Structure 1
Amino acid sequence: MTATTDTPDAADMADAPQPRPQSLVLAFFGNHVLDEGDLCVYSGSIIDVLARVGTGEQAVRSTLTRMVNRGLLRRQREGRKMFFGLTAQAVRILEDGGQRIWRDGAVNEDWDGTWTLLGFSLPESWQRQRHDLRSRLTWSGFGALYSGLWIAPGHADVRGAISELGLDAHVKVFHARADAFTDVGLMIRESWDLESIAARYVAFDKRWAAVSPPADPVATRLRLVAEWLRIIRTDPRLPVQHLPPEWPARQAQETFRRIAMETAGSAARMAAQLLETVPLRSA
């Protein structure tokens, strides 16, 4: 099967940033496998679907191998065919992403005034650990108040992420409220790049607002979810009362949810025809 490049939605998305293959694979499993029970998908089916959004076969195969090595996917051979299923770690990641996408949303209107403060001190030689920790903190909504002191709105639970990284002994977490002396709006502007966050929402809405019912709902939904997840991964869900007026996340979210709803049924029906699956065997 070849990539679908002549559909109206593909032309509309020509200027969109291309998600990393791993992001697309995770979006694929989140869209079509996570809620279907314990299933494995034939590698050829994954290759065919990702080809629809411009990802080549070799890139998909190497990504699947890396994800197996990282403990995100399981291989399962059935005769001459190789199938891939989700590990418990990948299920947790996808369920967390689903919480952010479908339930929490991009607009924080119910902030209770509390902050999570996280301090860490790592040996200078731990560059990889420092990078991994900062990535997890960014995903969890933290911004750098100072180099070793990060802050997030509300009660951010990062215990699991810290433990997975093996950094429990190097991290301290507190929950607190800002004193009246603190200018919360200024603190937010200093700790997060609001202009960049807003620009990503504006660009997303501009690309997707005029998209009509697509000829290829599987490709459209895959691209939609992967791009939206990329944006909200870098959005700390700051309290809306401390953000600039007309914060663009609200309009972008309405556009995302409209297209997600319009493509849900047709994408599911198309996927049922395209994907070859088998039950996932016990480990």
Structure 2
Amino acid sequence: MSAVWSNLEDLRSVVAEGPRGRRVLVTLMAEYWLEEGAMVPSGALVDLMAGMDVSPSGTRTLLSRLSREGRLTTVKDGRRTFYALSDKARRRLTEGFTVIRVFGTDHGPADPDWTTLLFSIPEDQRAVRQQLRKGLSWMWFAPLYDGAWITPRDHGQQAIALCQKLGVVSASLIRGRVSSAGTGFGNPVDAWDLDLARELYTSFTSILQDPLDRMRKGQLSPAESMRARTEVVNVFRGFPRFDPDLPLGLLADDWPRRAAREAFAELYDGVTEDAIDYVRSVVEQHSPAHVQDVSIRRL
């Protein structure tokens, strides 16, 4: 399986931002300790992260950093430390999983309403422009033109809120149909690099064939099941930045999003029972009383 993880990690480095260790730790918390009040002993997280090739010292550093940032809360019990998601982090991760649950299943109308944000930022405020662009990309916007960002999703209020937060005063929001006047560029889907998105989907589906075959034959160990579940969701959650569920009617007939979604869903749900059994067994070694805090999510 080492080649699979290596190939998947190469793909993750393209579709996801941020250090791998940090994303793995946040994913573990989101997958198994999302319920309010759920706590996990630090030793269990260290062991689980070791199975994901993150060193004990690296995990402890990440735990301290995420705690300082307010993403995790800590509880001391004698010499032992337990961690839980903060309320804010839990809300954001819940919203994120809602996106993952439906991504690739809603194909939308062929002629949708588009949300377009028009903005102008003075040249001497380049840092603000960069922050706005980064924030918009995470809301599934992409630049049709330099100061015109567009998405098929109704995310206008979030975009305006971001503008207000950053102090962008020259911004307008439009929601409706978009017609292209040009023949070379100007169609809303031109805002996305569809060649890159196709390549990412195709590579992802191909990489998953080996773990899928092994899962179907019952050859994945519980530890491998937990890792597979974590690795695939870390990659899959990044796809909306490259294709925000663009309407299939505007894309090629062989658009590979559906195949990628089906491969992800089969592996993610297929290893669920073995993955949670493994996580609970690791937690039990550190604190049997907290095994009950481990929960599971399904698509």
Q: TM-score, normalised by structure 1?
A: 0.83
Q: In terms of mean alpha carbon deviation, does 51-60 or 198-207 score higher?
A: 51-60
Task: Please list the CA deviations of residues 116-174 of structure 1 after superposition, one character each: whole Å capped at 9, or x if unmatched.
Answer: 01123345454544333322211221110222221001312452883598236534322
Alignment partner, residue 9 of structure 2: 17
- Matched ranges for 1:72-151 at <5 A: 72-102=71-101, 104-106=102-104, 108-111=106-109, 113-124=112-123, 126-151=125-150
For 2:210 and 2:139, the matched residues in 1 are separated by 31
For 1:240 and 1:117, the matched residues in 2 are separated by 20
Q: Number of aligned pairs? A: 270
Alignment partner, residue 251 of structure 1: 259
For 1:30 and 1:133, the matched residues in 2 are separated by 27
Indicate the SS of the match to 1:145. Answer: strand
Task: Please list the CA deviations of residues 206-258 of structure 1 after superposition, one character each: whole Å capped at 9, or x if unmatched.
Answer: 11023122212111111121121133343322111111221111101100000
For 2:280 and 2:236, the matched residues in 1 are separated by 24
Higher helix share: 2
Determine if the alignment matches structure 1 residue 190 to structure 2 residue 190: yes
Evaluate the alpha carbon distance shift between residue 156 and residue 223 of structure 1 in structure 2; reply closer, same or farther with a 3 A threshold: same
Evaluate the alpha carbon distance shift between residue 110 and residue 182 of structure 1 in structure 2; reply closer, same or farther with a 3 A threshold: farther
For 1:190 and 1:32, the matched residues in 2 are separated by 39
Structure 1 gaps, min length 5? 1-8
Q: What is the identity, as a one-letter code, of the residue corresponding to 1:47?
A: V
CA contact (8 A) 1:140 1:158 kept: no
CA contact (8 A) 1:116 1:156 kept: yes
For 2:263 and 2:147, the matched residues in 1 are separated by 37
- Give identity over the alignment, percent: 24
For 1:127 and 1:224, the matched residues in 2 are separated by 35
For 1:69 and 1:124, the matched residues in 2 are separated by 34
Indicate the SS of the match to 1:116. Answer: strand
CA contact (8 A) 2:197 2:243 kept: yes
Q: In terms of mean alpha carbon deviation, does 72-81 or 153-162 score higher?
A: 153-162
Evaluate the alpha carbon distance shift between residue 224 and residue 127 of structure 1 in structure 2; reply closer, same or farther with a 3 A threshold: same
For 1:240 and 1:115, the matched residues in 2 are separated by 15
Evaluate the alpha carbon distance shift between residue 95 and residue 196 of structure 1 in structure 2; reply closer, same or farther with a 3 A threshold: same
Determine if the alignment matches structure 1 residue 41 to structure 2 residue 16: no
Alignment partner, residue 274 of structure 2: 266
For 2:180 and 2:186, the matched residues in 1 are separated by 13
Evaluate the alpha carbon distance shift between residue 191 and residue 41 of structure 1 in structure 2; reply closer, same or farther with a 3 A threshold: same
Indicate the SS of the match to 2:39. Answer: strand
Q: What is the identity, as a one-letter code, of the residue corresponding to 1:255?
A: A
CA contact (8 A) 1:133 1:165 kept: no
CA contact (8 A) 1:113 1:154 kept: no
How far did 1:200 drift? Answer: 1.0
For 1:160 and 1:43, the matched residues in 2 are separated by 37
Alignment partner, residue 222 of structure 1: 230
Evaluate the alpha carbon distance shift between residue 91 and residue 124 of structure 1 in structure 2; reply closer, same or farther with a 3 A threshold: farther
For 1:182 and 1:92, the matched residues in 2 are separated by 42
For 1:85 and 1:60, the matched residues in 2 are separated by 15
Alignment partner, residue 5 of structure 1: none
Determine if the alignment matches structure 1 residue 30 to structure 2 residue 30: yes
Q: TM-score, normalised by structure 2?
A: 0.79
Indicate the SS of the match to 1:16. Answer: helix
For 1:137 and 1:259, the matched residues in 2 are separated by 30
CA contact (8 A) 1:129 1:165 kept: no
How far did 1:86 drift? Answer: 1.1
